[in-house]
Amino acid sequence: MDLPVEFLEKYKKILGEEFAAFHASFDQPVQTAFRVNPLKELDERFRVAKDLLISPPKSTDGSVSKFEKIPKQHFGYYGKISGKSIEHVTGLIYSQEPAAQVVGEVAAPKKGMRVLDLCAAPGGKSTHLASFLENTGILVSNEISNKRSKILVENSERFGSRNTIVLNEQPERLARVFPAYFDLIVLDAPCSGEGMFRKNPSAIQYWTENYPAECAELQREIITEALKMLAPGGHLIYSTCTWAPEENEANIRWILENYPELALQDIPKTNGLQAGLNMPEVVRCWPHRFRGEGQFVAHLVDTGKKLETLKVKSGKSNLTREQVQLWEDFSHRYLLTELSAGILQVFGDQLYLLPDGLPDLSSLKIARNGLHLGVFKKKRFEPSLALGMALKPAEVTTSLEISEEQFQNYVSGATFATDKAVSKGWVQLTVGGNGLGFAKNVNGIIKNYFPKGLRFIS
């Protein structure tokens, strides 16, 4: 790989005797990986037991893929699964390279926490955080780019997360709405991207000798706004996908100098993770030491006294009487679970379930206001894909397990017939025990409601 001379000289000074191995790593294949989603059901083709993956799915050529558990991680495996596979489409797995998975593992939020993923797209870290929260607490995933926030919504919905709010905002606007609110903030800051050179060689063309310093200045601006939202006793996970000391250790020193109430926490150096440069508490992913790309992670905690959860006045439902009746008719007929842990609100004709305990979000750009339940149409309610993917078969009155062939037909936009005894009306389609959204059974013909923008041909 053709790397900038200034880049090579810089890391030759930093790494010394290890530089040759570091340099050689850029010509090695990229290590792919994924995470298993604990919010989903594992079937016989894809089962995790005693930290070992057994009976893995077959690859496209019919051979059995062998996956290896990433040491000291809850959900991660080395390996690759197609984005058109059943496992991916139903949210059972999320493809994410190994170094990026380190961030979520360090964060590891406890159930019930209020969590902010400040720079969240495309959704790898947010879905990882959701794995720990298990649909408790509140997860606010923010992405400043409108286009990337839509991808973030898609990945959150596919994952089946019920307590995620996706915002499309600047950090300073968030800080006005969420002062001292979050128990945990994950800031995977925009950076010079040195750690992605092997995976994304086009990133090299943006790099200059001064670029890391320019990025560090922007990062400190974001850090300043992020810390306004951290509750007393809260945790800040700061990370980048670069090796530049200017963006990493230098920024941590800046935080410690300007925010004396924050203290570094030691991160275990397992599975090839290395200590920081003259900063042993943080970790670095060097590609000649770690099976993955580049990453830097630091864990800071506010040493102020942890207060009781900040009380926030809950919002109110804004449904009309007719809308309330339509939703109740649908839920009583088709659901076996009460989706009552939150506030029902409509935005236009779209119905959402918002997590309880949120501040007023009316001043913010919202991409996904909680769990999207569906849409009100003339005299009827139509359930959403997100609801059908978030619910488990035991939570609906009627589900239909479909074959792999039927799955391929359905995701391409086709209808199909079934000879199984299924009630007329809405039915949750499942494959491998996981939801693929709702469809409508009309005299044995399953009408297709898979969104046109997500359809594909295997």
Cα radius of gyration (the chain): 23
In whole angstroms, give the CA distance from residue 185 to residue 315.
23
Residue-by-residue DSSP string for 222-237: HHHHHHHTEEEEEEEE
For residue 341, say whether it is annotated as part of any ligand binding site: no
For residue 107, say whether it is annotated as part of any ligand binding site: no
Of 205, 261, 254, nearest to 231 by C-alpha is: 261
Q: What does each C-alpha distance from 52 to 48, 56, 88, 298 come to in angstroms?
A: 6, 10, 20, 29
For residue 122, say whether it is annotated as part of any ligand binding site: yes
For residue 119, say whether it is annotated as part of any ligand binding site: yes
How many C-beta neighbours within 10 Å does residue 379 have? 7
Do the Cβ atoms of 227 and 180 come closer than 8 Å? no
3-state DSSP helix/strand/coil percent for the chain, to nearest 5? 30, 25, 45
Helix (H, G, I), strand (E, B) or coil at 69: strand
For residue 125, say whether it is annotated as part of any ligand binding site: yes
In whole angstroms, give the CA distance from residue 415 to residue 274.
53
Of 154, 170, 181, nearest to 358 by C-alpha is: 181
For residue 9, say whether it is annotated as part of any ligand binding site: no
Do the Cβ atoms of 31 and 291 come closer than 8 Å? yes
Provide the residue type at 210 as one letter: N
Assigned token pair, 55: 């009976």
Q: Supply φ then ψ for residue 364, to 5 degrees.
A: -110, 155
Helix (H, G, I), strand (E, B) or coil at 166: strand
For residue 378, say whether it is annotated as part of any ligand binding site: no
In whole angstroms, give the CA distance from residue 324 to residue 316.
13
In whole angstroms, give the CA distance from residue 239 to residue 251.
10
In whole angstroms, give the CA distance from residue 74 to residue 70.
8
Provide the residue type at 451 as one letter: P
Residue 60, Cβ density class (10 Å: 0-12 exposed, 13-18 middle, ≥19 buried) = exposed
Please give the positions annotated as active site.
Answer: 241
Residue-by-residue DSSP string for 238-254: EEES---TTTTHHHHHH
Residue 283, Cβ density class (10 Å: 0-12 exposed, 13-18 middle, ≥19 buried) = buried
Residue set of the binding site for S-adenosyl-L-methionine: 119-125, 143, 188
